[in-house]
Amino acid sequence: MKNHPRYLVNVINRQRLVKISELKIRELVCHVLGEEKAPSVMGMNVMLVRDPVIRRYHKEFMNIDTATDCISFPPEGLEEANVLEPACGDCIISVDHALSYALENDILFAEEIARYAVHCTLHCLGYDDLRPANRRRMFAAQEKYVLYWKTNLYTTK
């Protein structure tokens, strides 16, 4: 699958714990943006980090002093990583959290990274998971895109 020509997705890999296919993340986020009918020439910034870095952002932006799995930001929410304009948002993903969760639940590490990338993209597109009905809608969309990743992106070169 080629990148969608209407969307720009920048993957910033700031970790060396595990090897991650930046191309697969880019393709997945482009697919979600296209399927969700995001405006043309929109994009996402996806930053892959270790727990100490995501903890710092979690504390700085949400006043919560813990590491977390992923954080979504509106376009102007993260000046350091917001290198694409116009963007529909920025995403920070903890590879430590994804690796731990994948090992504990016997799933692919890459699948968990894909899940976090989709989750953040959906949040940046306006999905909300605070109310039960919204959460069901968001997680249904999320898992649909993760299934797409498993069947179309994970198995291709």
Q: List, for residues 7-36, the tens digit of each pLDDT value.
A: 889 999 999 999 998 999 999 999 999 999
CB neighbour list of residue 1: distance below 8 Å, 6 or more residues apart = 27, 31, 152, 153, 156
Q: List, for residues 119-132, the tens digit of each pLDDT value.
A: 999 998 889 899 99
Report the CATH number that the domain containing residue 14 is assigned in CATH: 3.40.390.30
Q: Is residue 149 included in any domain, yes or no?
A: yes
Domains identified in the chain, total number: 1
pLDDT at 97 over 90: yes
pLDDT at 82 over 60: no
CB neighbour list of residue 119: distance below 8 Å, 6 or more residues apart = 70, 72, 138, 142
Q: Quote the domain boundaries for residue 23.
A: 8-153
pLDDT on residue 152: 86
